[in-house]
Copies of this chain bind each other. A is one copy, B any other.
């Protein structure tokens, strides 16, 4: 019962907001959980269509917003790229290397960077909410 937790989290969330679970929302959730890629709305829409061709673009958008609200999904805005989404539930915080040529995305995490960021924020009297670190470059395959 792989989907159980995530499904419950969404169910809980919509209940709290006085909203409802619908077949369409279940399909979008399943489609989203079914890929480990950093999907954009268009790609997810295509995956959703395979399961139920009657579901609209607007519903995919609206459901993704719900998934972000309950932290099942995280919105990613890379420079000059359209918005993408990744799994957030059971996934640890990380930053990204992005290939400017082929679009390849590599995840990384570095405790030291995180630590220094906190220190910098503290020194400037900022209470940190979140941060965005994106390293753009050319991957090894694209350099050949």
Residues of A within 8 A of B (CB): 77, 79-80, 97, 99-100, 106, 108, 110, 112-113, 116-117, 120-121, 124-140, 143
Given contacts A77-B80, A126-B97, whether A133 and B136 have CB atoms under 8 Å apart is: no
Q: Are B135 and A120 in contact (CB under 8 A)?
A: yes
Copies of this chain in the oligomer: 2
Closest to A107 in B: B124
14 contacts between A and B (CB under 8 A): A79-B132, A97-B124, A100-B129, A110-B120, A113-B117, A117-B135, A120-B135, A121-B135, A121-B137, A124-B139, A127-B137, A130-B136, A131-B133, A131-B134
A102: min CB distance to chain B, Å:
12
Q: Using Cβ atoms and an 8 Å threshold, which residues of chain B touch A116? A: 110, 112-113
Which residues of B lie under 8 Å from residue A106 when comparing CB positions?
124, 126
* B-chain residues with CB within 8 Å of residue A138 when the two chains form the complex: 126-127, 129
Contact yes or no, A128 B135, CB < 8 A = yes
Task: Considering the complex, give the chain B residue whose CB is closest to the CB of A111.
Answer: B116
Cα A65 to Cα B4 in complex, Å, equals: 50
A135 interface neighbour in B77, B110, B126, B143, Cβ under 8 Å: B126
Choose among A80, A130, A133 the residue with the greatest number of B CB atoms under 10 Å from its CB: A133
Give me 7 other A-B pairs in contact (C-beta within 8 A), A97-B124, A113-B113, A125-B140 excluded. A77-B80, A108-B124, A112-B116, A113-B116, A129-B136, A131-B134, A131-B136
